[in-house]
Amino acid sequence: MVGLVFNWLDDRLGIRDLDAALVSRNVPKLNWWYTLGFAALFTFIIMSVSGMFLAVYYAPTPDHAWMSIKFITQQVTFGKWVRGLHHYGASMMVIIVVMHMLQVFFYGAYKYPRELTWISGVALLGVVMGLGFTGYLLPWDQKAYWATVVGTQVPEVLPIVGPISKVALRGGESLGALTLTRFYAIHMLMLPALMLVFLGLHMYLIVRIGITPLPEKLDEAYDRVKAGN
């Protein structure tokens, strides 16, 4: 009976093909540095789930934003724990993604035929930084407010598009209700959508082209360490 159900699903979903592409495929010799990509993906999943929980109680208006955060922290069951997970997880995600990109760079994984894998990874880093920047304002406290004032002034130094970029980010000349709403929309809708697009492309390229093997010298050093153990 189980076999019949599996075969029925396999005919329609191609389960065996997915297993061959994702699970049973051959991979080169690896070490712990290769786990950073999955760690970044796992952190993103945690951030997404905790962010959905926080969005249920968060009010993106200047009059209620800080009070809603206070309510989550002090009165919602496990709210303090979930908010802490989201808050510190954001910093951890940036650290992991940067470490992953450094590992990829030093292993030469940006070379042919993996140029698009590298480019999509750089785009993912940009999205992660954008998520961190837009999310920082959402508590709407003094620290977040003035940090965003400084952060939104940075694009102003760009020629021609600088002043336009600042006004577009703030929704006006100064920070206000429209800025908070705009940052919330970017943080919750636009950047996660971009993240899914680039993440899907990144994963597809990894499966299609494969993982970069260890550089020759690192491979030899890895063998010597294993032989010593």
Instruction: Identify the pLDDT of residue 228.
Output: 66
CB atoms inside a 10 Å sphere around CB 137: 24
Largest pairwise CA distance in the chain: 68
Output the CATH code of domain 31-208. 1.20.810.10
Counting Cα atoms < 13 Å in the Cβ hemisphere of 195 gives: 20
Instruction: Identify the pLDDT of residue 162.
Output: 86
Q: Which is nearest to 118 in space by CA: 126, 110, 107?
A: 110
Kindly list the domain boundaries of the chain, sorted by start residue.
31-208
Residues in the chain where the model's pLDDT stays below 50? none
Amino acid, single-letter form, for residue 110: Y
Q: For residue 138, what are its two tokens? A: 């959402």
CB atoms inside a 10 Å sphere around CB 152: 21
For every residue of 71-137, DSSP letters joined together read HHHHTSTTHHHHHHHHHHHHHHHHHHHHHHHHHHHHTTTTSTT-HHHHHHHHHHHHHHHHHHHHHHH
141: left (phi over 0), alpha (psi -120 to 50) or beta: beta
For every residue of 149-181, DSSP letters joined together read HHHHHGGGGSTTTHHHHHHHHHTSSS-SHHHHH
